[in-house]
Chain A
């Protein structure tokens, strides 16, 4: 699965303002509402579900990256977005480091395979230090979009 299969381009944010875990999640979910990927009426329920998942264990997987996610019945296909915080946010990460790079995923409850393949793609690309560094220093959403496109075209993701 490629980034272009689940990342809503219009929801990409290169400078999140939020300084807290919930704040970032809310800002990203709102960007999905603004991009038309999720309904405004589902925003609260989605944020709540993502926070509930975080309570089970942080999705800050290290290297300044977090993958907050949830299943939600309101979506019929996997939707996601990418955001960067230049200051970094305390996400109670596994390695204790602040998180600068966020991939938020909302998937339909009956498609665990798609969720796994999105995680696979994200993890595979993030093993590339250069890719991470470029994403974190992106000046605007278009830079991020281009980096994701480049990863899609060079990657081996299926």
Chain B
């Protein structure tokens, strides 16, 4: 009986640990848009990042910024070809990184042309 209770208790603790696990996932992305990470993609990025519970940060050579803040993302002034690291920490880190990585892979569906940005 005591053993069973202990086992249950241990299982519960393990469950809690699992659900609170702060997994950290990161990947490199490249800014592919000719106009760089300008206002519209920065907005899309921050919107996507806010969908996730995990903390999302972007790292450039010199800065680490909050991926959920458009103001922060814009301070990267990331031009075309810039390599950034996206880092997610939290329970849904893996999914978040996948979603954000895919935005970069699709160049944020940038309909950018020469008329406006």
Choose among A53, A67, A113, A127 the residue that contacts B72 (Cβ–Cβ < 8 A): A127
Q: Which residues does chain A contribute within 8 Å of B12, judged by CB atoms? A: none
One digit per residue, 1 when the CB lies within 8 angstroms of any chain B CB and 0 when it does not, for chain A 61-87 equals 111000101110000000000000000
Check A31 for interface membership: any CB of B closer than 8 A.
Answer: no
Q: How far is A116 from B117 in the complex, measured between Cα atoms in Å?
A: 11
Q: Does A40 contact B (CB under 8 A)?
A: no
Determine whether B74 belongs to the interface, using a CB cutoff of 8 Å to chain A.
yes
Residues of B contacting A57 in the complex (Cβ-Cβ under 8 angstroms): 40, 43
Interface centre among B34, B35, B77, by most chain A C-beta atoms within 10 angstroms, is B77
Would you give the 0/1 interface string for B26-48, flagging 1 where the beta carbon is closer than 8 Å to chain A? 00000000111111100100010
Q: Which of the residues A49, A50, A63, A120 comes within 8 Å of B75, measured between beta carbons?
A: A120
Interface contact A119-B70, CB-CB below 8 Å: no
Q: Quick one: which of B76, B77, B80, B115 contacts A52, CB cutoff 8 A?
A: B115
Which residues of A sit under 8 angstroms from B78, Cβ to Cβ? 116
Give the size range of A's interface with the partner. 20 to 34
Q: Is the CB of B38 within 8 A of A119?
A: yes
CB-CB contacts of B48-85 with A at 8 A, as 1s and 0s?
00000000000000000000001110111111100000
Chain A: residues with CB nearer than 8 A to chain B?
49-50, 52-53, 56-57, 59, 61-63, 67, 69-71, 94, 109, 112-113, 115-117, 119-120, 122-124, 126-127
- 28 A-B pairs with CB atoms under 8 Å apart are A49-B116, A52-B115, A53-B117, A56-B40, A56-B111, A56-B116, A61-B70, A62-B71, A67-B39, A70-B116, A109-B114, A112-B38, A113-B79, A115-B35, A115-B117, A116-B36, A116-B78, A116-B79, A117-B77, A119-B38, A119-B39, A119-B77, A120-B76, A120-B77, A123-B72, A126-B71, A127-B72, A127-B75
Pairs A-B, 4 closest by C-beta atoms: A120-B77, A123-B74, A53-B116, A123-B71
